[in-house]
């Protein structure tokens, strides 16, 4: 009789586990559907927010500000290295250096460039 009760208990437990598994499968399916709806809504919100965000400002770079930033580290730089760091043509650098020297003291002499280590005319903010 004891074997019968334990076998009957195992069968009941098996039925209980099957019901629980069926319930979990249904719940998982529902959650999957809800999740796909949320992902779609999120993608839509991202697209809308990109339309509302202000556009990036392009062009109109303050060249003298870029040069001042390159020289602000206190390291003497030659014209070629300044041009390489800032993307400004060497021919335009002379004009901009004059403009910068109205605001900052630019020290210029022949020495080693702190970037390329060549002996050239170097510039730094004094």
pLDDT score, position 53: 53
pLDDT score, position 52: 61
pLDDT score, position 58: 44
pLDDT score, position 61: 55
| DSSP single-letter state for residue 59 | S
Q: Is the pTM of this model over 0.75?
A: no
Where do the structural domains in the chain lie, given as residue ranges?
A: 1-55, 63-125
The segments of the chain whose pLDDT lies below 70 read 1-4, 50-62
Q: For the chain, what is the mean pLDDT?
A: 83
> Is 122 within 8 Å of 76 (Cβ atoms)?
yes
Q: Provide the 10 A C-beta neighbour count for residue 66.
A: 16
> Is 113 within 8 Å of 104 (Cβ atoms)?
no
According to CATH, what is the number of the domain 63-125? 1.10.10
Beta-strand ranges (E) seen in 8-118 are 77-78, 106-112
């Amino acid at each position: 009789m004891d074997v019968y009760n334990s076998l009957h208990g195992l069968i009941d437990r098996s039925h209980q586990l099957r019901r629980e598994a069926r319930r979990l499968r249904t719940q998982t399916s529902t959650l999957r559907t809800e999740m796909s709806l949320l992902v779609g809504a999120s993608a839509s919100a991202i697209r809308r927010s990109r339309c509302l965000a202000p556009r990036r400002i392009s062009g109109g770079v303050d060249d003298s500000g870029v040069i001042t930033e390159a020289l602000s580290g206190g390291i003497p730089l030659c014209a070629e290295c300044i041009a390489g760091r800032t993307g400004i043509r060497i021919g335009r650098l002379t004009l901009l250096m004059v403009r910068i020297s109205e605001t900052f003291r630019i020290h210029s002499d022949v020495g080693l460039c702190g970037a390329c280590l060549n002996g050239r005319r170097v510039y730094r903010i004094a």
